[in-house]
Structure 1
Amino acid sequence: MQRPFYHYLMTERDPHKKDAVTLFANAVYLDDSFPKQSEDYHEVSLYLELNGTYLEEMTTFDTAWEIYLDKDN
């Protein structure tokens, strides 16, 4: 069983790094409504499209998702 995307993303948090995935992870941490138990790309993607005002480009999410899949497989 794969861990939720949110759990992976929290491993990318860092107050000092300023790359896109780290900034995304830091912002998601502050988002109380983020689907924290989801392992589904479409569910998380739809949520971000509708609510992810802190995400400048969806390509950042796509990059983070690819890393997530690589690390968990």
Structure 2
Amino acid sequence: MDRSFYHFALRYRGGGRDDVKALFAEKMFRDASFPKDEEDFDSLSRYIEDQADDDLRSTTFDELYAIYVDLCSM
């Protein structure tokens, strides 16, 4: 990958209140312990599941990660 998942997902910040991707990105940005250099799905997924936060949903992560792989693995 050419960048970490964190840096990829930041592009979704600033969306509306009903935009789950924007809410995820904002929560991720404000989480000082989020693994900012990580690219691995399993490591990121474990971190997100351990947080169990309404704005850091695993379903949204799965969707964002699929887009991340599609766009950044070229």
Question: What stretches of structure 1 move > 6 A for 4+ residues in a row?
Answer: none
Offset of residue 38 of structure 1? 0.1
Q: Residue 51 of structure 1 aligns with which residue? A: 51
Gaps of 5+ in 2: none
Are residues 1:38 and 2:38 paired?
Answer: yes
Gaps of 5+ in 1: none
**TM-score computed with the length of structure 2 as normaliser:** 0.85
**TM-score computed with the length of structure 1 as normaliser:** 0.86
Counting matched residue pairs gives 73
Are residues 1:62 and 2:66 paired?
Answer: no
Q: Residue 7 of structure 2 aligns with which residue? A: 7
Q: Which amino acid aligns with 1:38?
A: E
2:13 aligns to what SS in structure 1? coil
- Cα RMSD, aligned residues only: 1.8
